Amino acid sequence: MRILLSLILTAALLVSCSGPVDRKAVRESIDRQLEAFPESRLQDLYKSFFQDRFGPGHIISDREGALKYIMSELEDAGAISGPYTEPCGWEGNYVRVSLGAINEGLVSADGLTDALVKSAIPVTDDAIVDWKKEWRAILSEIKSAHPGLPGLAEDSMKLDSLLASGQYACHHSKEYSRAYHPHYRIVRREFINDLMKHY
């Protein structure tokens, strides 16, 4: 009986010590984003980690509509600055591809649309349950590494409310949008080489 109890306690300890994320990789990802985009707020970090888990986040059935939206956004955006590609989150499952890459002739609008459609996956309830656990671990690393992040406590409460209400996607912060004018699409990492083979 004593041996069985010891085994149970050991297993419980191992479960409690093992987290759903690689803490070192998470911290490197946080530092990378804050170095490249210092106006980032907590929701911008959340967005990057969320996109790394879910990509575009839903099935895109209307390819032509997606292409038209890209072309319309390009027309309204004018000049687009910033990196052509940017890995999302701590695993880099997905990559943000700037629409500026189309303007520079590095990718075609059709090619980016095809990659976007292929990258879209359904978001299931079980996946969101797992995501909430992952986000708690990521948030702990953010609070530990960057306790002075502007608006951290308030933004953390807003994200808690978002997730509690059954929502999970969010926009970039006003500060991030104003500073960087983001225009990009999310593509799975394995599609990047073919998409940007002329670059």
pLDDT per residue over 42-99, tens digit each? 999 999 999 999 999 776 878 999 999 999 999 999 889 889 999 999 999 999 999 9
The set of long-range contacts for 105-113, using a CB threshold of 8 Å and a minimum separation of 24, is: 105/198, 106/196, 106/198, 106/199, 107/195, 107/196, 107/199, 109/67, 109/70, 109/71, 109/74, 110/67, 111/195, 112/70, 112/185, 112/187, 112/195, 113/63, 113/66, 113/67, 113/70
Mapping DSSP onto H, E and C, the string for the chain reads CHHHHHHHHHHHHHHHHCCCCCHHHHHHHHHHHHHHCCCCCHHHHHHHHHHHHHCCCCCCCCHHHHHHHHHHHHHHHCCCCCCCEEECCCCCCEEEEECHHHHCCCCCHHHHHHHHHHHCCCCCHHHHHHHHHHHHHHHHHHHHHCCCCCCHHHHHHHHHHHHHCCCCCCCCCHHHHHHHCCCEEEEEHHHHHHHCCCC
Find the mean pLDDT for residues 185-191.
Answer: 96
Find the mean pLDDT for residues 107-131.
Answer: 93
Q: What is the pTM of this model?
A: 0.87
Cα separation, 180 vs 80, in Å, equals 9
Any idea how long the chain is?
Answer: 199
Q: What is the structure's pLDDT at 123?
A: 87
Cα separation, 16 vs 70, in Å, equals 45
> Shortest CA distance to 56 belongs to which of 197, 169, 172, 175?
169
Span 127-146, pLDDT tens digits = 999 999 999 999 999 999 99
Mean pLDDT of the chain: 88
> Shortest CA distance to 29 belongs to which of 16, 44, 39?
44
pLDDT > 90 in the chain, percent: 77
128 alpha-carbon distance from chain centroid: 14
- End-to-end CA distance of the chain: give it in Å, rounded: 65
pLDDT band, residue 12 (cuts 50/70/90): very low
Who wins on pLDDT, 3 or 128?
128
Q: What is the structure's pLDDT at 83?
A: 92
Q: What is the structure's pLDDT at 199?
A: 59
